[in-house]
Structure 1
Amino acid sequence: MIDEFQHNEETMSQTKFNVRKVAVLGAGVMGAQIAAHLVNAKVPTILFDLPAKEGNKNGIVLKALDGLKKLKPSPLSNKDAVAYIEPANYEDHLHLLKDCDLVIEAIAERMDWKADLYHKVAPHLGEHTIFATNTSGLSINKLAESCPDSVRPRFCGVHFFNPPRYMHLVEIIPCVTSDAGMLDNLERFLVSTLGKGVVRAKDTPNFVANRIGVFSMLATIANAEKFGIRFDIVDDLTGPRLGRPKSATFRTADVVGLDTFAHVVKTMDDTLPGDPWHGLFKSPEWLQKLIAAGALGAKTKVGIYKKDGKKMFVLDAASGEYVGGGQKGDDAVKDILKIADPAEKFRQLRASEHPQAQFLWACFRDVFHYISFHLADIANCARDVDFAIRWGFGWSVGPFETWQAAGWQQVAQWIDEDIKAGKALSGAALPAWALQADRAGVHFADGSYNAAGQNLVGRSTLDVYQRHLAPARVLGEVAAPLGETVFENDGVRAFTTGDDILVVSFKSKAHAIGPDVITGLNTALDIAEQRFKGLVIWQTEEPFSVGADLQSMLPAFMTGDWAAIDATVRRFQETSMRLRYSQVPTVAATQGYVFGGGCEFAMHCDKTVAALESYVGLVEVGVGLLPGGGGCKEFALRAAQEAKGDVLAALKDYFMAIATAKVATSGQEAQEIGFFRKGDPVVFNAYELLYVAKQQALAMAESGYRPPLKVKGFPVAGRSGAASIKGSLINMLEGNFISQHDFFIASQIADVMTGGDVEAGTLVNEQWILDLERKAFMTLLQNSKTQDRIANMLTTGKPLRN
């Protein structure tokens, strides 16, 4: 019996991979931020660098850690995380490596420097330590040669994208000696613990995302020159209008760093001499001049773009001078880009004689040409290409998906014609598979096309992906609605996946909460109490909710039907309270914006399971209102429960969170501020959100869930507390930090959160505060300055300060 137990224990120790501690070698930009994201995920991390020549020998690392605190957007998801990065240097601390389950090398992209470091650290690695190099394009097999034979099975490439906290993509690049089980363990850790989307890449220069993404930028630059398109117009046309980031093309180069961009291009130039597009792999002369002048982009505050006061200037490549920026694409071309049907959009782009339309078609054509030609060489299937570009470069749709949506055969024919006419950037022929007469695309229900094996490759069967109940999909995959619909109206869909949990998803734009959502959510609660063990609010995509649907209030607002609006607000409050006191456990699964009423619903659920990238706030002051769905009440109640004899002291931070529309920039920070409860799960991979939320609901149900007992009475700060808060507000008003209307709004918030015109310490119930909250909401709504703020937000999408 004992022998059997020992055998089972040994088997488990061989198969389960626990990451107790990680070391990162190199405290540069990437190394420090990788370390930051590791401690965000509560993984103790040692950050190494060279010993400083003067002062504290860990000085280089300490300076990097100080720099992490200043970066925006922050690489740290909570203010305490950086304390869990242990500084170290190669001279004194290499013995610490033996206790690390994973070591990530992230020094400069120099083969010789990396090789030297491997010789130094290899003797100190633990027997089972995974050793990974973070590189954007160096050969993993070549680097592996610098490792001892005993380390090579545990060595591979891992390519984080910058900034590591926010970019979803991580590429894993095996070398020929990499152990398959090791790679699986690393993928599990990256996916579930760090929340990444993993693509396994072949060991080719720049791997998948950079190889194609940088080629796309080079093709855009070449075609901009060919068709005479200004850089700012290029960025206007190749950003959000194409479903790509606002930084588009040239701003992206500035953000990345022109020297970094040039380095990646040089890697392609040096390592891809046989590529048919090799002549394109050169930094343009204007780029070389900028780098020589130290104009490296955002980090030097001047690059392709430069700002002078409030004016933005852009480089004119022909003259080498800066000219006034901000020019937009031609309206006729922008109208083509608005066409919903991809096939018609591409037809018009190709047929148009406008240089900007010809430029756009050429950019698409050359990328399609490149990815089809190189698919067999660089990726295991077309899906990996699309995910790599979506996750690594921020495109909403991958290049193969774009081609397939526009009609594969027609687009392939156009590309082939352009190649033969000498219009393409290379004369290389399209591969035969791309021109097959019956080809409908590369993504199908059974998998995505693998050009090397000429077969379809299905999704990974690795166990970690079983937690992805609604995984990322590419065009052509089966994407039927998740689960079996139990109830549906115009506002929500409630469904089940067969595990006794009812899941509710909002159908409204940006998941705003209007009458249909409120009615639907209440019906779902009725059904859940009758037939299910719990209820989860989860959205099929970001955001969780932008809050109340002000647009739905417009008819009553325009006619002055205040009674109808009051009834709507009351119904909103009642729904929040139903979430709190339902007969089944309620869980909010949040990601993206969790604003206003969405935040209030989450605050009233029994638990919140938050994706790390949840941005949470009661932001109603931006439209001249206060939280009217129970947010003020909830903070007043929490302050009373947390107070140690001084309710006002406990209340002040909560008051400021509402009065300043403070937004938490992570699920962890939302707990620190108090929007979410400490100890509620924070999930790093948003694709695991629904799974974890349902497990939490089931666990509560199986534990004999009973709703919380209604609070009989809790103490408030009273009129004296409100007076104290208003005294501080007067100082802000007199110092011109807030406007008169800001003062009025904040005073209303103070009156509500302190319990109204009562003595300090008076016991009130939740309904008392809810009534005050609703009354103050209506008072503000009928104020002309608030009405101006609402109108401005609805028409411009931006807050008005008045």
Structure 2
Amino acid sequence: MSNKLLVRKVAVLGAGVMGAQIAAHLTNAGVDTVLFDLPAKEGPADGVVLKAIANLGKLSPAPLASKSLAEAITPANYETGLEQLRGCDLIIEAIAERMDWKQDLYKKIAPFVADHAVLASNTSGLGINALSDVLPEQLRHRFCGVHFFNPPRYMHLAELIPTRVTDASVLEGLETFLVTTLGKGVVYAKDTPNFIGNRIGVFSILASIHHTAEFGLGFDEVDAVSGPLIGRPKSATYRTSDVVGLDTMAHVIKTMGDTLPDDPWHKYFAAPKWLEALIAKGALGQKTGAGIFRKVGKDIVVLDLKAQDYRPSTGAAAPEVIEILKLKNPAEKFARLRESQHPQAQFLWATFRDLFHYSAYHLADIAETARDVDLAIRWGYGWSLGPFETWQAAGWKQVAQWIADDIVAGKTMSSAPLPNWVFDGRDGVHAAEGSYSPARNAKLPRSTLPVYQRQRFPDPLLGEKFPAGETVYENDGVRMWTDGDGIAVVSFKTKMNTVNDHVLNGLQEAIGIAERDFKGLVLWQNSEPFSAGADLSGAMGLLQAGNVAGFEAMVANFQATSQRIKYSLVPVVAAVRGLALGGGCEFPMHSAKTVASLESYIGLVEAGVGLLPAGGGLKEIAVRASQAAGPGGDVFAELKKTFETVAMAKVSASAMEAQELGLMRKTDRIVFNAFELLYVAKQEALALAESGYRPPLPARRIQVAGDVGIATFKMMLVNMLEGRFISEYDYEIAVRIATILCGGEVDRGSLVDEEWLLKLERKHFVELAQQEKTQARIGHMLKTGKPLRN
């Protein structure tokens, strides 16, 4: 019996916020999905679901990778649609968090569930074993919990919660589907209230609430010190609660209060008075426009408990606390936080201490290993390090001693003792060989399920190192390496993986080596972004020194590198994730194939800094338009689709949207799990090589739209200028972009070659770069990271 779960069709039960978004993400992944809810009281029977599907387009961040996918979701209701369940291989229940409602629904659907189908509940904290009590015997071993985090398209975590009788093969099949098809990071949780992520994550919020009051801090002050300064998301603590919804927060806190009577921290598992008051007023956070924070015009105001009113949100991290948090050495950082008399530093030490205390005390009953806790918190809450990693990095023994001292001194939230294993002489819980499991008193390695062999570099925990491959060639800009599988990989070494002369020369060198010694070459980065484009500050240096010739040579070198990628004798495959802007978009455009992670944000954004794409990007768009139109066809109609994307410096909100915007080809591949990107890119390179790859023939007869095309684009732009959608300088840049795309002032239908278009790119790029307004835009972008509209 193989453990392969073949998923052709999925049903999602419940079209609320989570259910609808889970259905959206399944559809993103190309899974045929039916979304169920109650029959509507009036209008069409599937009205409730139709409304939920329509609402997906309004949510931000967008649950759908492409707006057009909404119509792929099939609506259904529990009265007339249950027959459709017979054809589903996986059924995910995501209705409201009430045991009786869920169990009633299970009884209703059980007769329609196929004999091989898996049933999973997306509950965030109800008992999985208790839920399964009402299921018929033959369905019980195919039931488990699968808890997605909100928003399900973007949060990497999915918790898998087996019951006492769930088949191992069911779990392995579901895990494989979640990892590869939906791109998730799977953590196994025990059947305890709120599982791992919310049990530890919500405790951390409760500890913050407690200590905010203890140290007399404002909500905005706490957010200022508990966000990026300590490796957590910008929404920090209280802003996160607003985003999640204060009613949801209160519900999860109440679940902890109701279901964990014996937890030594139980007295803290109650919503504070101010939270209850906000909920009673209907101020539930972001979804109602007001919560702990509120937007008034352009300003943000924050609730002030002393004044019982909102005040401007101006709380900031104190300079002396920032000083401590900037320290590179975690041990020194924690020592300084603990010694400092500043209330913000005291707050940070106290919240970390109580989080470590809670996590260690409960590790044995909520998870198999410390790895599960750290990954759940990282993937579900967006922290850069989990609680055990943070403790270990700061010096396990010393911090353990400090916690023990604080327990004795009565400073901790609970007087429960730390477990004995904390003091058994260890220096931490993570090591190269695995992570500590209290139940087995041993370090357990990562899962050996075959799906994980697709991850060459999994998300590393503290103390984990994955072999870096054998270096083939290296310069100041790039490193080229191999695993001995016939494929070479090139990664950039610059900040934000920007492109400078070292990168350009290194890439050309690497392609030469690949043609001689390898079957293919993959462009892949160790971490996001793929590339933020050309190194602007370096380029500006040349111009400010008056070295126009040097500047033009750099542009020519950029184009030469793009062409070298395109005409390489072995396939060059670009593996893109995160931002791929400007030159970072042009290299993949010239590659034999692009393999992009779903969360790839791709754009030719040069217009935003007063420039235009000149790494062969515009040339490539013109070539594709000519090919799509065919001999004597309407090239202008093809160009029109992409022109606005470039002129308005649009960036795709997903890899799918990049295909729709014409920045990726329809034949390029989209991967859902970013950790599988390298594997898939290598497979694509191998497949191309093994099937007799040759680069395209040089494009010597490119049909262009010429002067008529330029004139037509100008008419469109004049309308935009008069409607004040663009500035006069935007107009000038856009006209130059149109001029290059149309092949310059030549007759419509003229035939040109690539070198002609590349020369046009260079000419206009160098001319723009010398303009004051462009230099102002570049300066502004380098200083603030935001575009200037001048």
Looking at structure 1, the residues matched to 242 and 733 of structure 2 have their Cα atoms a distance apart, in angstroms, of 41
Pick from 331, 339, 349 the counterpart of residue 351 of structure 1.
339
Looking at structure 2, the residues matched to 273 and 79 of structure 1 have their Cα atoms a distance apart, in angstroms, of 46
Equivalent residue, structure 2, for 1:768: 756
CA positional deviation for 1:319: 3.4
Task: Return the letter of the residue paired with 1:463.
Answer: P
Aligned length: 788
Equivalent residue, structure 2, for 1:123: 111
Question: Could you say what secondary structure the match of 1:449 adopts?
Answer: strand
Looking at structure 1, the residues matched to 45 and 745 of structure 2 have their Cα atoms a distance apart, in angstroms, of 61
Equivalent residue, structure 2, for 1:405: 393
Pick from 206, 213, 229 the counterpart of residue 225 of structure 1.
213
Task: Return the letter of the residue paired with 2:685.
Answer: A
Equivalent residue, structure 1, for 2:328: 340
Equivalent residue, structure 2, for 1:108: 96
CA positional deviation for 1:15: 4.0
Looking at structure 1, the residues matched to 517 and 634 of structure 2 have their Cα atoms a distance apart, in angstroms, of 44
Looking at structure 2, the residues matched to 312 and 80 of structure 1 have their Cα atoms a distance apart, in angstroms, of 35
Equivalent residue, structure 2, for 1:745: 733
Looking at structure 2, the residues matched to 705 and 51 of structure 1 have their Cα atoms a distance apart, in angstroms, of 55
Equivalent residue, structure 1, for 2:515: 529
Task: List, as ranges, runs of 4+ consecutive aligned residues in structure 1 with deviation greater than 4 Å.
Answer: none
Pick from 503, 507, 511 the counterpart of residue 489 of structure 2.
503
Task: Return the letter of the residue paired with 1:59.
Answer: G
- Bigger shift: residues 593-602 or 727-736: 727-736
Equivalent residue, structure 1, for 2:469: 483
Looking at structure 1, the residues matched to 169 and 135 of structure 2 have their Cα atoms a distance apart, in angstroms, of 19
Equivalent residue, structure 1, for 2:628: 642
How big is the alpha-carbon RMSD for the aligned residues of Structure 1 and Structure 2? 0.9
Looking at structure 2, the residues matched to 602 and 353 of structure 1 have their Cα atoms a distance apart, in angstroms, of 53
Equivalent residue, structure 2, for 1:304: 292
Q: 1:452-491 counterparts in 2 under 5 A?
A: 452-480=439-467, 482-491=468-477
CA contact (8 A) 1:286 1:320 kept: no
CA deviation vs aligned residue, 1:420-479 (integer Å, no higher than 9, x gap): 10111111111111122x211000111000112211111001000000011111001234
Looking at structure 1, the residues matched to 540 and 669 of structure 2 have their Cα atoms a distance apart, in angstroms, of 38
CA positional deviation for 1:17: 2.1
Looking at structure 1, the residues matched to 311 and 67 of structure 2 have their Cα atoms a distance apart, in angstroms, of 42
Is residue 40 from structure 1 mapped to residue 28 from structure 2 by the alignment? yes
Looking at structure 1, the residues matched to 476 and 356 of structure 2 have their Cα atoms a distance apart, in angstroms, of 40
Question: Could you say what secondary structure the match of 1:611 adopts?
Answer: strand
Task: Return the letter of the residue paired with 1:92.
Answer: T
Looking at structure 2, the residues matched to 288 and 185 of structure 1 have their Cα atoms a distance apart, in angstroms, of 42
CA deviation vs aligned residue, 1:198-232 (integer Å, no higher than 9, x gap): 00000000000000000001101111110011100
Task: Return the letter of the residue paired with 2:114.
Answer: G
Looking at structure 2, the residues matched to 104 and 311 of structure 1 have their Cα atoms a distance apart, in angstroms, of 41
Is residue 514 from structure 1 mapped to residue 500 from structure 2 by the alignment? yes
Looking at structure 2, the residues matched to 412 and 510 of structure 1 have their Cα atoms a distance apart, in angstroms, of 37
CA contact (8 A) 2:641 2:662 kept: no
CA positional deviation for 1:488: 1.1
CA contact (8 A) 2:623 2:699 kept: no
TM-score by length of 1: 0.97
CA positional deviation for 1:160: 0.3
Q: 1:164-203 counterparts in 2 under 5 A?
A: 164-203=152-191
Looking at structure 1, the residues matched to 362 and 198 of structure 2 have their Cα atoms a distance apart, in angstroms, of 13
Instruction: Give the fraction of aligned pairs with identical amino acids, expressed as a percent.
Output: 61
Is residue 440 from structure 1 mapped to residue 427 from structure 2 by the alignment? yes
Equivalent residue, structure 2, for 1:146: 134
Is residue 590 from structure 1 mapped to residue 569 from structure 2 by the alignment? no
Looking at structure 1, the residues matched to 3 and 209 of structure 2 have their Cα atoms a distance apart, in angstroms, of 49
CA positional deviation for 1:80: 2.2
Question: Could you say what secondary structure the match of 1:151 adopts?
Answer: helix
Question: Could you say what secondary structure the match of 1:33 adopts?
Answer: helix
Looking at structure 2, the residues matched to 424 and 488 of structure 1 have their Cα atoms a distance apart, in angstroms, of 52
TM-score by length of 2: 0.99
Looking at structure 2, the residues matched to 680 and 731 of structure 1 have their Cα atoms a distance apart, in angstroms, of 35
Question: Could you say what secondary structure the match of 2:138 adopts?
Answer: coil
Looking at structure 2, the residues matched to 478 and 737 of structure 1 have their Cα atoms a distance apart, in angstroms, of 51
Equivalent residue, structure 2, for 1:548: 534
Looking at structure 2, the residues matched to 600 and 608 of structure 1 have their Cα atoms a distance apart, in angstroms, of 11
CA deviation vs aligned residue, 1:735-780 (integer Å, no higher than 9, x gap): 2211111111111111111111100000001111110001100011
Looking at structure 1, the residues matched to 737 and 314 of structure 2 have their Cα atoms a distance apart, in angstroms, of 41
Question: Could you say what secondary structure the match of 2:684 adopts?
Answer: helix
CA contact (8 A) 2:3 2:170 kept: no
Question: Could you say what secondary structure the match of 2:137 adopts?
Answer: coil
Looking at structure 2, the residues matched to 284 and 71 of structure 1 have their Cα atoms a distance apart, in angstroms, of 29
Equivalent residue, structure 2, for 1:322: 310
Pick from 438, 442, 453 the counterpart of residue 451 of structure 1.
438
Question: Could you say what secondary structure the match of 1:733 adopts?
Answer: helix
Q: 1:364-375 counterparts in 2 under 5 A?
A: 364-375=352-363
Task: Return the letter of the residue paired with 2:750.
Answer: T
CA positional deviation for 1:326: 2.3
Task: Return the letter of the residue paired with 2:546.
Answer: G
Equivalent residue, structure 2, for 1:5: none
Unaligned 5+ segments in structure 1 are: 1-10
Is residue 792 from structure 1 mapped to residue 780 from structure 2 by the alignment? yes
Unaligned 5+ segments in structure 2 are: none
CA contact (8 A) 2:576 2:594 kept: yes
Looking at structure 2, the residues matched to 782 and 303 of structure 1 have their Cα atoms a distance apart, in angstroms, of 49
Looking at structure 2, the residues matched to 785 and 712 of structure 1 have their Cα atoms a distance apart, in angstroms, of 36
Looking at structure 2, the residues matched to 177 and 117 of structure 1 have their Cα atoms a distance apart, in angstroms, of 21
Equivalent residue, structure 2, for 1:674: 662
CA positional deviation for 1:554: 3.2
